[in-house]
């Protein structure tokens, strides 16, 4: 192998990590994600074109951090970035919908336009909790964006404003989403082989 071939191979293998045996297939590739994130950013730029003070983007840790960082760099409307951490218990068939606040935002949300940025809407418990919680703080407006949603899994109705992709009821990883902290930084979204809900 020539040095040039070696170099190109290294770049390729860094840019597109191969599927491991745990992963069934690539569901959404990196280019498709970027195109969709651009479209969503354009919609947000249009919808918030007239705001006079910064929109507060609240990313739900950890899953949203890659989506949020790509999205915010495409925003032309004034905005600030903040985070919140929640944990939910009893996922899957025994879902109880208990959501606990682990870390609050640093910004005081009162009187502000807020956009909650989430990786995926599954049962809806997390976003439902956050939307109601933020409304109770006297926010000026609360909207939501999720990169992914699984319509088959919804338990609580949530008003989603900006949705990236609708996906089937499979466990997905990559682009921020994990399985037991694995695969979170894959540049694409892949389906796990074994359903783990």
Contact 82, 56 (CB under 8 A): yes
Partner in contact with 122, chosen from ligand IMP, Mg ion, none, beta carbon below 5 to 8 Å by kind: ligand IMP
Catalytic residue among 31, 47, 119, 122: 122
Which residue bears the tokens 């409304």? 135
Residues in contact with Mg ion by CB under 5 A are 63, 119
Residue range at the interface with ligand IMP (CB under 6 A); choices 36-44, 77-85, 100-108, 167-175? 167-175
Q: Which is nearer to ligand IMP, 17 or 54 (CB)?
A: 17
Q: Which of residues 58-77 bind ligand IMP (CB under 6 A)?
A: 63
Instruction: Please tell me whether residue 125 binds ligand IMP under the rule CB under 6 A.
Output: yes
Cβ-based neighbours of 144, under 8 Å, separated by 6 or more: 115, 116, 118, 127, 131, 158, 159, 160, 161, 162
CB of 127 to ligand IMP, least distance (A): 6
Whether residue 122 lies in the annotated active site? yes
Q: Which is nearer to Mg ion, 10 or 196 (CB)?
A: 196
For the chain, the C-alpha Rg in angstroms (whole number) is: 18
In the set 44, 117, 121, 130, which binds ligand IMP (CB under 6 A)?
A: 121
Q: DSSP code of 166?
A: E
Q: Which is nearer to Mg ion, 30 or 99 (CB)?
A: 99
Tell me the C-alpha to C-alpha distance, in Å, between residue 197 and each of 62, 92, 151. 18, 5, 15
**3-class SS of residue 30:** helix
List contacts with ligand IMP (CB under 6 A). 63, 88, 118-126, 171-173, 177
Catalogue the active-site residues: 122
């Amino acid at each position: 192998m020539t040095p040039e071939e070696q170099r190109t191979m290294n770049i390729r293998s860094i840019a597109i990590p191969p599927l491991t045996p745990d992963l069934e297939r690539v569901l959404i590739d990196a280019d498709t994600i970027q195109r969709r994130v651009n479209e969503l950013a354009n919609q947000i730029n249009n919808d918030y074109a007239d705001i006079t003070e910064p929109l507060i983007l609240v990313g739900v840790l950890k899953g949203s951090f890659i989506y949020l960082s790509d999205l915010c760099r495409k925003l032309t409307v004034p905005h600030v970035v903040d985070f919140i951490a929640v944990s939910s218990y009893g996922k899957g068939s025994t879902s109880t919908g208990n959501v606990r606040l682990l870390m609050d935002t640093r910004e005081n949300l009162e009187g502000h336009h807020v956009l909650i940025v989430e990786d995926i809407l599954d049962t809806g418990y997390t976003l439902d909790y956050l939307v109601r919680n933020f409304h109770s703080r006297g926010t000026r407006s609360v909207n939501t964006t999720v990169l992914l949603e699984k319509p088959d899994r919804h338990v609580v109705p949530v008003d989603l404003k900006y949705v990236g992709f609708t996906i089937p009821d499979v466990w997905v990883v990559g682009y921020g989403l994990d399985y037991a902290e694995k695969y979170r930084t894959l540049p694409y979204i892949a389906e796990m082989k074994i359903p783990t809900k």
